[in-house]
């Protein structure tokens, strides 16, 4: 049996975590042979509810759960943690943009960045889910100067999976046959789901769909999917967000088997002309616990315009929270 690893999950009594925690415990994220110690963080008013989650976890008698810590102290939750999934943050309601959450949530990530810096494993892999995820990841990174910036990422996998699902439905082919999808930029309405390189059953997707559908239906549907779920459900997506978080961390830890995925990662300003000091989503493959960017793709003028629009939005968000960096 492998040695247990520590997985910290914040917002542990919230909607998304109610799906994530049980899947991590079942081995969906790190493998069916990897025991985990769950380190669950909440705020004081939610500790009663978190206690209920812990009771349910115990009732599952999961063979892989080697320990559970439930706490309202980030210094305890992040102690020696190998993985951290930062979900705890306010969700948006109808009519809001995710950036409207920036001021409400920014402080959470400066506090948690510092706590990760001081207490987590030096190799901790961090995924920021709480919105606005990319800029919250930047705040986390800037408050954790002793950690490797490569190890702090933002979740774009839900957008990636949504894109694949839309193409699969349009073409009537299985999701597993769609490869080389890319979502660029911010997890927001400016994100750019790009089918330029995508293939379905080995053939270019752009040859199978008309450009009008791509520009007028596909792109806005993916960009607005979060808002559509809020409208339909009265609450933001939770199980699909949890599933995307599991996919992101599993592929990062165990490898993406050559498949392209989209991850919000730290930009050093040396690829695709994207400004440095942003957490910007791009095409990635993962192997041996490391992510690697796909570089050198040709970018046409439509793509460049879309990539720049989402970059500008991220730069504006960075400006708005400059004092927290």
Ligand X SMILES: O=C([O-])CC(=O)C(=O)O
Q: How many whole angstroms separate alpha carbon 260 and alpha carbon 269?
A: 21
**133/246 with CB nearer ligand NAI:** 133
Answer for which of 161, 236, 243, 267 binds ligand NAI (CB under 6 A) is 236
Compare residues 129 and 274 and give the one whose CB is closer to ligand NAI: 129
- φ, ψ of residue 196 to 5 degrees: the values are -55, -35
Q: Judged by CB, which is closer to ligand X: 6, or 162?
A: 162
The reply to whether 129 sits in an annotated binding site is yes
Please choose, out of 17-25, 195-203, 234-242, 292-300, the segment that lies near ligand X by the rule CB under 6 A: 234-242
Long-range contacts at 196-205 (CB < 8 A, ≥ 24 apart): 196/297, 196/298, 196/300, 196/303, 197/260, 197/283, 197/297, 198/167, 200/167, 200/168, 200/171, 200/173, 201/173, 201/177, 202/177, 205/167, 205/171, 205/178
14 binds ligand NAI (CB under 6 A): yes
Within a 13 Å sphere around the CA of 90, how many CA atoms are in the beta-carbon half? 15
Dist. CA 235–CA 244, nearest whole Å: 17
How far is residue 148's CA from residue 125's CA, in Å, rounded to a whole number?
9
Is 134 one of the annotated binding-site residues? no
Q: Are 184 and 281 a contacting pair, CB within 8 Å?
A: yes
Candidate list 71, 153, 237, 267; residue touching ligand NAI; CB under 6 A: 237
Give the number of other CB atoms < 10 A from CB of residue 292.
12
Which positions are annotated as active-site residues? 187
Q: What angle do CA 201, 202, 208 make, to 5 degrees?
A: 75
Give the residue from 160, 158, 152, 90 showing the smallest Cα distance to 127.
Answer: 152
Nearest residue (beta carbon) to ligand X: 226
| Paired strand residues for 200 | 178, 203
Residues in the chain: 325
Q: In which element (H, E) is residue 125 found?
A: strand 125-128
* Alpha helices (H) in 127-255, listed in sequence order: 133-142, 157-171, 211-212, 219-223, 225-233, 239-254
User: Binding string, 141-160, against ligand NAI, x = CB under 6 A?
Assistant: --------------x--x--
**Which of residues 53, 138, 141, 158 is near ligand X by CB under 6 A?**
158
Residue 229 partner contact from ligand X, ligand NAI, none using kind-dependent CB cut-offs of 5 to 8 Å: ligand X
Provide the mask over 70-89, with x wherever binding to ligand NAI is found by CB under 6 A and - wherever it is not.
Answer: -----------------xxx
Whichever of 5 and 189 has its CB closer to ligand X, that residue is 189
Stretch that binds ligand X, among 91-99, 140-148, 208-216, 317-325 (CB under 6 A): 91-99
Give the nearest distance from C-beta 186 to ligand X in angstroms.
11
Binding characters for ligand NAI, 104-143, by CB under 6 A (x = yes): ----x--------------------xxx-x----------
Q: Which residues are annotated as a binding site for substrate?
A: 92, 98, 131, 162
Q: Which residues are annotated as a binding site?
A: 11-17, 92, 98, 105, 112, 129-131, 162
Footprint of ligand NAI on this chain (CB under 6 A)? 10-11, 13-16, 41-43, 46, 87-92, 108, 129-131, 133, 155, 158, 187, 236-238, 241
Q: Which residues are annotated as a binding site for NAD(+)?
A: 11-17, 105, 112, 129-131
């Amino acid at each position: 049996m492998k040695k247990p690893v520590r997985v910290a999950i914040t917002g542990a009594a919230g909607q998304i975590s109610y799906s994530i925690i049980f899947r991590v415990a079942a081995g969906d994220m790190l493998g069916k042979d990897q025991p985990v110690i769950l380190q669950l963080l909440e705020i004081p008013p939610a500790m009663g509810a978190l206690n209920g989650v812990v009771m349910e976890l115990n009732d599952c008698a999961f063979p892989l759960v080697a320990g559970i810590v439930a706490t309202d102290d980030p210094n305890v939750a992040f102690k020696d943690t190998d993985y951290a999934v930062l979900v705890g943050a306010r969700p948006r309601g109808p009519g809001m943009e995710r950036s409207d959450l920036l001021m409400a949530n920014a402080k959470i990530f400066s506090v948690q960045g510092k706590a990760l810096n001081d207490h987590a494993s030096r190799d901790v892999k961090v995924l920021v889910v709480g919105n606005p995820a990319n800029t919250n990841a930047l705040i986390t990174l800037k408050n954790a100067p002793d950690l490797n910036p490569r190890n702090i990422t933002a979740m774009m996998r839900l957008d990636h999976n949504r894109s694949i699902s839309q193409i699969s439905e349009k073409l009537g082919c299985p999701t597993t046959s769609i490869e080389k999808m890319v979502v660029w930029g911010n997890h927001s309405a400016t994100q750019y789901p790009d089918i330029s390189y995508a293939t379905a059953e080995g053939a270019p997707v752009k040859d199978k769909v008309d450009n009008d559908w791509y520009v007028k239906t596909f792109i806005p549907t993916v960009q607005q999917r979060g808002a559509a779920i809020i409208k339909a459900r009265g609450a933001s997506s939770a199980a699909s967000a949890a599933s995307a978080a599991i996919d992101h961390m599993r592929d990062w830890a165990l490898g993406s088997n050559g498949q392209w995925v989209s991850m919000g990662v730290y930009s050093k300003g040396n690829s695709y002309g994207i400004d440095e000091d942003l957490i910007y989503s791009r095409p990635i493959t993962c192997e041996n616990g490391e992510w690697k960017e796909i570089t050198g793709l040709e970018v046409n003028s439509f793509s460049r315009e879309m990539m720049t629009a989402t970059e500008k939005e991220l730069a504006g968000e960075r400006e708005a929270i400059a004092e927290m960096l």
